[in-house]
A and B are shown apart, each in its own frame.
Chain A
């Protein structure tokens, strides 16, 4: 049941509109209910080959030898793709916006860093023949010590998961191993509080569980272009990631998305397109690469786990005077997007409340598990769980009603937020009041009368004096651009012969290479 509360904020709205505000039927409703909406996998192309990936059986191991001799002669196999075949076999997604270092190969060459990491791709006439050939690939592993706990990973002597980040944490601004938030003097706030409560919260990984698993179909098109049908949530993110990895201009590709069968953040990673297109380039045939359910669930990126410590100082009258947060985002073996989630988390602290002293240290930590990625509420869902459980405990501690406790501490128009921007257009108080009304939860009159539009600003608009910390010297010289184009171990191995001579990928001579230079077609050459 949905009720529109037009009585609230009516003076801020023009409700006299013709199409806006109507419950018009969806444009794509007929297709959905008759089963005729087109998904990427509805394109069955003539001569289409099937790509399957041989994945690591170890969470951390050196790759001594990858023997594909028997697999190459397996019936129906058209091509085996190895790391050496990938033009730029090292990437990080947010290099598109110059954030972070290239740290993840499309196909592992010297080392695997999580169980399920892709090592070689088999391209065959049928899925069955691809599976049969997969069983014939021999990989000689030298197991390495593993680390799965975020706090263990930060201890001295912990196994190095990803050599790009030898301390097992993402590097922020070339200097810090975490994202900082500093607002006011949190230690003084805690010292002056009537009660101090420190608690630990843990969000486990979560699978996006889309009905449609990640996948794509790539096919050679006329004039040296490739058409790509994909489940991506971010078309140009995928286009430009593929252009970088395959080292061709972005207009080599015609990407066509469809109806997406469930995204929730799990289809932002450009998981299948680069190998799928590369296989189409190498074979000259349409290629389909779709994750199976087990692959999607275990090796497709999940919502990352987060461990969050919150230490709050609260007064007897219910005012929160200090909030100190230390959070660890489990990024898994590679960065993907977790580095950004930590920034978003810092900006979100201390939740929708006005607290005069706030302190945050947010770590993006590497462990030997499936790389994590975005998911609904990225960087916020787990911290909201922690903050709101903490709010309940604080209310209990000072003997206040939890609804009234939230209204008392809620941010209001004109307040200064911890990321040093003025709060505007706030409505937390009204949400609490209406939820209380709906749930028949009694509020005292003064809390019923509170408003987001009143009582903010003034003393609450001031950025408090904040103790300065000494800034360490940059650990590395400036932000690293990709230091090697092809993984050294891979380039020593000659690529296996193709079963048929592949057409050369199109390379217009005048086009600039997309690799180590800053990204072009989307973001220009701006540096952070």
Chain B
């Protein structure tokens, strides 16, 4: 009777966005007379950070500080249409719509500034700190606040912009499945190390090392939150969760968090993550979407690590101690594979 360690790997890719009927999102951006911008969306922030990421995209595109942008979401009267927050589409689709709207608003802002400074708009640039100045002549400068006041009360211009990003409908060929399901793909590879108790069948996570390629980490801390949390969900899917523990028999379904198994704080493990950025041609600043795919490599990596540890293949999820123990007994004991 012993505990055996093993390592397993998995590598995956993941499509960004859905495409079954076309996949659009819209955004509106406008400035108030103080040069503070509002982004109006009907899109939903699920906690993943949609508001924060679109805010950074808008600020970068406008050339103003992030503090000067506020993102308002989730209102069907004020926010233009969005398909919804699913399919890892938020950053890519909504981000692109916000970028388009911010570009249009920036155009008006620069024209208004040009009129105030009596120069050509093409000769102006933003400093990202709330000022617009003549290229190569920082002293010939005007604040975005003064531009907004002038646009509103003097020039009669609306510093605003409309944006839409649409991935058009791709028909699926019924015979071959030929289709354009996505415009870009995120990638990942994950190594899981586990410890398997051949007396109880229990699997303990030891550590994970991973590399995720996401196009561009627009906000690395939000990316980290997604990847760490998503990998926990992967552990949970691999080893614990199901509302139908004896599927396909629907009996014995859990009714609350006492009966529904999930890993507790003591069941998770250190996770060392590398983020790669290969920009997507059509992503906002190259971004793809880290949302969904971060859980996916964990499930097979854990299953493969269990094989490496004790020599049994569990092909039915979740990999419960009962399944591991039965498989070990069926093969006459643990058979650790080559340590790697």
Contacts and interface: CB of A to CB of B under 8 A. Distances in A.
14 contacts: A9-B277, A12-B279, A180-B177, A205-B243, A206-B237, A235-B43, A254-B77, A367-B248, A385-B300, A403-B9, A431-B211, A432-B9, A435-B191, A435-B210
A20 B297 contact: no
Contact of A2 (B7, B15, B275, B281): B275
Interface residues of B, number: 131
Given A424-B281, A438-B211, 7 more contacts: A115-B250, A148-B248, A204-B245, A378-B86, A381-B299, A389-B304, A430-B213
B169 A2 contact: no
Interface of A: 1-6, 8-9, 12-13, 17-28, 59, 94, 96-99, 115, 148-150, 172-173, 175-176, 179-183, 199-207, 209, 232-237, 239, 253-265, 268, 293-294, 297-298, 302, 305, 330, 340, 343-344, 346-348, 351-352, 360, 367, 369, 374, 376-378, 380-382, 384-389, 391-393, 401-403, 406, 410-411, 418-421, 424-428, 430-436, 438-439, 441, 452, 466, 468-469, 471, 522-523, 526, 528
A384 B9 contact: no
Contact of A293 (B256, B272, B295): B256
Given A13-B216, A27-B55, A268 B175 contact: no
Nearest to A3: B274
Interface string B231-267: 0010001000111110111100111110010100000
B189 interface: yes
Consensus secondary structure, chain B interface = loop
Nearest to B177: A181
Contact of B220 (A23, A377, A386, A441): A23
Given A12-B278, A260-B46, A434 B292 contact: no
A376 B271 CA distance: 20
B251 to A, nearest CB: 10
A94 B254 CA distance: 30
B81 interface: yes
Contacts of B45: 28, 259-260
Contacts of B275: 2-5
A431 B11 contact: yes
A419 B178 contact: yes
B256 A297 contact: yes
* In the complex, the 4 A-B pairs of residues with the closest C-beta atoms, listed nearest first: A234-B84, A97-B21, A257-B74, A388-B300
Contact of B52 (A28, A97, A343, A424): A28
Interface stretch (B27-35, B104-112, B314-322): B314-322
A95 to B, nearest CB: 10
Interface in B180-231: 180-182, 184-185, 187-191, 209-213, 216-224, 227, 230
A201 B315 contact: yes
Contact of A385 (B177, B248, B303): B303
B297 A384 contact: yes
Interface in B33-67: 42-47, 49, 51-52, 55-57, 59-60, 63, 65-66
B327 to A, nearest CB: 14
B60 A19 contact: yes
B152 interface: no
Contacts of B212: 431
Interface of B: 7-15, 18, 20-22, 42-47, 49, 51-52, 55-57, 59-60, 63, 65-66, 70-71, 73-77, 79, 81-87, 128, 169, 171-172, 174-182, 184-185, 187-191, 209-213, 216-224, 227, 230, 233, 237, 241-245, 247-250, 253-257, 260, 262, 270-281, 285-286, 291-293, 295-297, 299-301, 303-304, 307, 313, 315-318, 340
A392 B9 CA distance: 8
A298 B253 contact: yes
Q: Which interface residue of B177, B292, B303 has the most chain A CB atoms within 10 A?
A: B177
Contacts of A411: 13
Contact of A376 (B175, B248, B295): B295
Contacts of B247: 202, 204-205, 305
A434 B297 contact: no
A180 B278 contact: no
A278 B57 CA distance: 39
A376 B292 contact: yes
Nearest to A393: B313
Contacts of B52: 24-28
B237 A434 contact: no
Contacts of A389: 300, 303-304, 313, 315
Contacts of B12: 351-352, 384, 388
B178 to A, nearest CB: 4
Nearest to A151: B248
A275 to B, nearest CB: 19
Contacts of A265: 86
B224 A199 contact: no
B276 A431 contact: yes
B171 to A, nearest CB: 6
